[in-house]
Structure 1
Amino acid sequence: MTIDVAADTESPPGFRTRYRQLGPLLGGELLGGTVYELDPGERNGPYHYEIGNEECLLVLAGTPTLRHPDGRDELAVGDMVVFPEGAGGAHQLINESSAVTRVLILSTKREPQGCAYPDSGKLSTLGGVFRIAGAVSYWDGETAG
């Protein structure tokens, strides 16, 4: 099967990719997958980690740089990395090379899903994106009567 990718026209410069979501294409319900192509200087999205799901990356072409909690590593074709849920699985792909990079990212599809963005102090879940700084205590606004 040839996987054609479509341009991302909504993301700001530096975060533009071409991608194709494979789950709906192949009929997957519990496993998702997306093929991304990154031009030089682009990222696949903000530095983030999943809440409730795991992801797995396979490099198909090029040499993307992986940013992770322990630093940065240049990856090569055939390299595979698992991102566990939670802060230890934080990641971002950056194309610091002069050639197009192509990767496959697989993920579990557990609900509800969430995503945290450590650089910007945000959390996304249930269709919204929120600032973590606005967090309240568990009992805030609750009464027993």
Structure 2
Amino acid sequence: MINLTHKLRWAIAAVVLYVAFVVVAVTTGFLNPSKIGLQWTILWYFVAAGLAYYFYFKNVTYREIIYYAQKLGYHYADLKAWVPNLRDNQDVPNPDKPRLFSPFTKVPITATNIIGDKLSAEAKEKGIPKYR
């Protein structure tokens, strides 16, 4: 069995989602250029590619935060304290109760970037292996 890194698994999942979108679009014809125009067809394929990349990036960053927080012994309250300007409907990753997928909108990219940068720097200082 091939030993895939976590990042590669999420990349494969994102590509599979995009290919599924393309297959559905081609077979059903809902993005047919003769019906909606070439510009709109191209736009929607780019939007789908962007969403697939966002799915990949968000989940890899989320899992990286969970990995480093668990290795460094941080908990939900510690991570939440690093991002004080969250709105009521926003949250941070919870290393004590990780989810399979990152919440798509509840955990903002800005929060994951702030927390991820701090955790990776500290993990590097303490010699923790990189998230793969």
The two structures have a TM-score, normalised by structure 1, of 0.24
Q: Which is higher, the Rg of structure 1 or of structure 2? A: 2
